Structure 1
């Protein structure tokens, strides 16, 4: 997966346009690019003054990438339960990042050490699952949580699992992203 600079720009414009349209600032734009009509999974991350302001995404490619970006931009701006809905006065202060995910792949491991050896910091995003508990961190999260123990400890917390849950009890998948940010 590789997106041209022009296509990256279109995806960022699409995400911003979806939010602006919802706020009745401007009409929603559409993109004609063929690659955006293929099914894709994306995350849209909003930051304000360098701080997280919303982040919602899809782990599976189940709808056209264009639609996935629009829906995740709206969800990140208005339905992320960690934040109040974005206001029109905040929109100019927000930076948008779009991450397009590869298909998640199962990771087979027999020990915590083996798991850590199979997950590459700054490269792999991780999905953990146990029963009804599920959580993911994008590869970008390694910047804040640079060690495997930190990364997985916070991932367990995000999944609402006890911090002493053995990692060998989890189903683990990894994926990579191509990400682009507004300048």
Structure 2
């Protein structure tokens, strides 16, 4: 998988956001997904790359789905994850047509993940950069991912790293929030280029 986030320019961002919205609208109206051939996509969208699509409604999370190991061209990953976020996120009811005008979309294009070796909790905290790194936690059948922007929820914590990793552990299904300290737990870190419709609208896009 390529690190394609560095090549996501303004026009490419506009293309991907428009494609994500068209995909969601098509499914909401029980229509076929929009056709998009490789030659129609900007060059940076044609290489395999991972991404997440986040849907907001009135500033609140309405859906978020993605993968840290994308295997398809970026534009295809965006289409797939947009539909999953809108209609298959188990935390929310499927999006209905009446909601479409009130939704705001964000796309996070990820760098290739870096697997961290076994280390102590203290060394783990030192290996993860708050505000920069997204983190995947995995232990047996339990798995959870936080994007880099999730760090903002823990800025006021006494120890943001502990708060972040505790919350990530609970997201993976560990009620104690201590899964991140388990010697059998493995981690990957990644970075992300995140952009949204609000951003483009705000600067004349």
- Deviation, structure 1 residue 29: 5.7
More helix by share: 2
- Per the normalisation by structure 1, the TM-score is 0.94
- Per the normalisation by structure 2, the TM-score is 0.84
Aligned to 2:202: none
Aligned to 1:148: 161
Partners of 1:117 and 1:164 in 2: CA distance: 17
Whether the 8 Å CA contact 2:41–2:75 is kept in 1: the answer is: no
Range that drifts further, 7-16 or 106-115: 106-115
Partners of 2:113 and 2:180 in 1: CA distance: 22
Cα distance change of structure 1 residues 164 and 182 upon mapping to structure 2, 3 Å threshold: same
Whether the 8 Å CA contact 2:109–2:193 is kept in 1: the answer is: yes
Partners of 1:66 and 1:84 in 2: CA distance: 25
From 168, 179, 185, the counterpart of 1:165: 179
How many residue pairs were aligned? 183
CA-based RMSD of the aligned residues comes to 1.6
Cα deviation, 1:75-126, whole Å, max 9, x if unaligned, reads: 0000000000001111110100000111110123522111111101110000
From 50, 53, 65, the counterpart of 1:44: 53
From 13, 21, 37, the counterpart of 1:16: 21
Q: Gaps spanning 5+ residues in structure 2: where? A: 1-5, 199-205
Whether the 8 Å CA contact 1:125–1:137 is kept in 2: the answer is: yes
Aligned to 1:80: 89
Aligned to 1:35: 44
Cα deviation, 1:160-180, whole Å, max 9, x if unaligned, reads: 124233525210110000110
Q: Gaps spanning 5+ residues in structure 1: where? A: none
